[in-house]
Structure 1
């Protein structure tokens, strides 16, 4: 997926250099363990394409708070959709988001995930910096934004370093979705149709 693709979740880079505190070791261990399991799914030669997607989706559902991401992506409209519209949108968004994560991470199938360092944005909000190591030397930097709620961790954002550019999987998507909704007078149907179209494009291009 190119950076100009409409399916790209391009997030603005966070000003991490201004954040001096370090995240605790448990947050780093959470990312280390779960990110490794997610990538192991993509690397497993025993799985066919359908099994790989199903297992990957299961791990990501536990690892990431996709409902929180979906609400963020539509901003004010999360309060304007009806309950039925919001439920249908969240279902479409989940399928799309998982397809995006799988597509991007699958391009950089690695041998292991190594935690480099981390920073705290607050007591409950941390960024964990990792690198996906590859035998061909084309390592990829990945950042994970982790929120702590009631003592439990969940990822609410992922950033990939693609061709030297830090791409967060959510802020530009928010801008794109809200712009579409603004043009369509807040039509949930118009947004869902667009999301389903982008998902179909991703699935058509995935590896077997």
Structure 2
């Protein structure tokens, strides 16, 4: 699996069709403020590398609903794992997902997220389209799927425009994880081992 195809992090949205309704301003402001703050931690000169990762992970863990993401990406197997297996898997997945976010966004460290527009999929489900600008002109388009529950906003999937292809991280991970589980007869141990291996690879290649 390459760096693009192992990315993760978030409950999948379907590919967008033309949707006329604009998401509310509060949803857009939530994405702009929280995503920008998370990116800013990657360029904080007062932090060591380990402190930077810890601070970034804290922001992203609060910003995204990783329990929902972890359930989505294993599909039917979330109901087949024992409680102990599910807890161990979620712990491994959370560490991996946060490492993925840091790896994918690290090239844009310190840059602000600018909201372009947004659409509503339903009253509680919105897509916020943003761009992260770089001085070299190689800007990245990022879409954030946001769910609202009891007045609380949380991101449940992220789409990156990589080399002209829009890739929803949650959808990509779901296809890979379910395929692995199918081959391994639903073994939680096999999945956790693979996730821990991918996490180690991400951490080994991380910018210092």
Change (3 A) 1:13 1:91: closer
Equivalent residues of 1:10, 1:167 under 8 A apart? no
Give the equivalent residue in structure 2 for 1:29: 29
Q: 1:138 to 1:195 in 2, by over 3 A?
A: same
CA distance in 2, matches of 1:50, 1:198: 19
Match of 1:51 in 2: 51
CA RMSD of aligned residues (A): 1.9
> For residues 138-153 of structure 1, what are the structure 2 equivalents within 5 Å?
138-153=138-153
Alignment of 1:100-139 (within 5 A): 100-139=100-139
User: Is 1:161–2:158 an aligned residue pair?
Assistant: no
- Aligned equivalents of 1:135 and 1:111: distance in 2? 9
Partner of 2:83: 83
2:9–2:157 Cα contact (<8 Å) kept: no
Contact 1:147–1:153 (8 Å) recurs in 2: yes
Any idea what SS the aligned residue of 2:100 has? Answer: helix
Q: 2:71 — aligned with what? A: 71
Q: What is the TM-score of this pair, normalised by structure 2?
A: 0.94
User: Given the superposition, is the C-alpha separation of residues 96 and 197 from structure 1 closer, same or farther in structure 2, using an over 3 Å criterion?
Assistant: same
The answer to whether 1:7 aligns with 2:6 is yes
Work out the number of aligned pairs and report it: 207
**Which residue number in structure 2 is paired with residue 176 of structure 1?**
176
Residue deviations 1:38-78 (CA, integer Å, cap 9, x gap): 00011212211100100001001110000000000000000
Which runs of 5 or more structure 1 residues have no equivalent in the other structure? none
CA distance in 2, matches of 1:19, 1:54: 37
| Distance in 2 between residues matched to 1:138 and 1:20, nearest whole Å | 29
Equivalent-residue separation in structure 2 for 1:63 and 1:130 (angstroms): 16
- 1:13 Cα deviation after fit: 8.1
* 1:13 to 1:166, Cα distance in 2 relative to 1, 3 A: farther
Q: Is 2:194 aligned against 1:194?
A: yes
* Residue range with higher mean Cα deviation, 121-130 or 134-143: 134-143
Give the aligned partner of residue 61 of structure 2.
Answer: 61
Distance in 2 separating the partners of 1:111 and 1:182: 40
